[in-house]
Amino acid sequence: MTYPSTAIVAPLGRWSSRIALFAASLMAVDVVLHRLTTFPTLAAINLFAVSAAGMALASLVALVAFVQIWRRGYKGAGSAAIGILLPALLLAWPLSYVPALINLPPINDVTTDVEQPPRFVELARQRGQDSNPIDYPAERFAQLQQKAYPDLRTFVIDRSAEETFELVEEVAHKLRWRVAASTPPSTRPPKGGTLEATEQTLLAGFTDDIVIRVDGGANRTRVDVRSASRYGRHDFGQNASRVRRFLTELQARTDSTSPATIGRRAARASALVKRLRDRDQKKAESRTSQDHARPDARHGRGPKETPR
């Protein structure tokens, strides 16, 4: 005869899994709404903080449940495990930014020209009142930026401003930025060009603003870039990485379209065409010599012998 088990299930184990599942659902809905809709960023940040607090609470409750299970022999270890493993899995993403939080300066706006940074015009109208200030805080950020990112400098190119601006537009398109405004440089009156664009972070979808200034003459042009986060006090190095990607791609595009590179490509193409022509000519001459060496089948036959 079998008797039903009288073991008690630890109630905190069940509660830890419930809290973890609720917090995980809240975080997933928050990310999807902010990434795919016009859900306000500040509300998304607050919901994310609430879900993270729920994850921490679920882990704490699960630890207490494990103590009860160990000491009193309660059931519910599976539920308590969910209360620990699920928060650990979901919090691994934000916790991966801890090294950047510790090692990088708490800035959210970087530029290649800290003395006269490019200014936002069109994107300044799109920013909300609760977003970060639109002006570059040089007094607080300039020294920190130059110490942490000394490689972010003005890009100088030996091209006209008009040609350089075309390269800038090509690079922005390749990087899949959303261009908000594009004003090419002009010679009459002399005026530099600007390009304003936005980019969203991969997972959470936070919007960062970019402005590029192209200023120069007929033979030499200066390109300055600025990238700023709309929200948050710390960008975890994202803006500096974005500027580096742009400058690296602009350098590659400049090298690939330089007169020397184009000349080398034309020379290689000409040499390839010449080799193909020589090969075809040799094949034609070989066929002709073979045709001359091979007599016609009718003329090459001898007189037919009469059978005896």
Q: Where do the structural domains in the chain lie, given as residue ranges? A: 11-96, 109-257
Tokens encoding 101: 């939080």
Q: What's the pLDDT score for residue 273?
A: 63
The number of angstroms, rounded, from the C-alpha of 26 to the middle of its chain's C-alpha atoms is 26
SS (H, E, C) 44-93: HHHHHHHHHHHHHHHHHHHHHHHHHHHHHCCECHHHHHHHHHHHHHHHHH
In the structure, what pLDDT confidence band is assigned to residue 307 with cuts at 50, 70 and 90?
Answer: very low
Residues forming a β-bridge with 200:
207
24 SS3 class = helix
280 SS3 class = helix
Tell me which residue of 136, 216, 156 sits closest to 184, measured CA to CA. Answer: 216
Residues forming a β-bridge with 155:
223
**Residue 4, pLDDT above cutoff 60:** no
d(CA 305, CA 150): 99
The 10s digit of each residue's pLDDT in 15-46 is 899 999 999 999 999 988 888 888 888 888 89
What CATH fold (topology level) applies to the domain 109-257?
A: TATA-Binding Protein (3.30.310)
Whether the model pTM is above 0.85: no
pLDDT average, residue stretch 11-16: 85
User: 216 Cβ partners below 8 Å, 6+ apart?
Assistant: 160, 161, 164, 185, 192, 222
Tell me which residue of 233, 245, 237, 198 sits closest to 110, measured CA to CA. Answer: 237
The residue assigned the tokens 């993270």 is: 52
Residues forming a β-bridge with 216:
221
By mean pLDDT, which of 63-67, 70-74, 89-93 is the weakest? Answer: 70-74
**Residue 2, pLDDT above cutoff 50:** no
Give, rounded to a whole angstrom, the gap between the first and last alpha carbons of the chain. 116
The 10s digit of each residue's pLDDT in 136-180 is 999 999 999 999 999 999 999 999 999 999 999 999 999 999 999
In the structure, what pLDDT confidence band is assigned to residue 242 with cuts at 50, 70 and 90?
Answer: very high
- How much of the chain exceeds pLDDT 90, in percent? 50
Q: What's the pLDDT score for residue 172?
A: 96
pLDDT average, residue stretch 77-88: 88
By mean pLDDT, which of 19-28, 228-237, 262-271, 276-285 is the weakest? Answer: 262-271
216 SS3 class = strand
The residue assigned the tokens 């975080």 is: 27
pLDDT average, residue stretch 47-70: 90
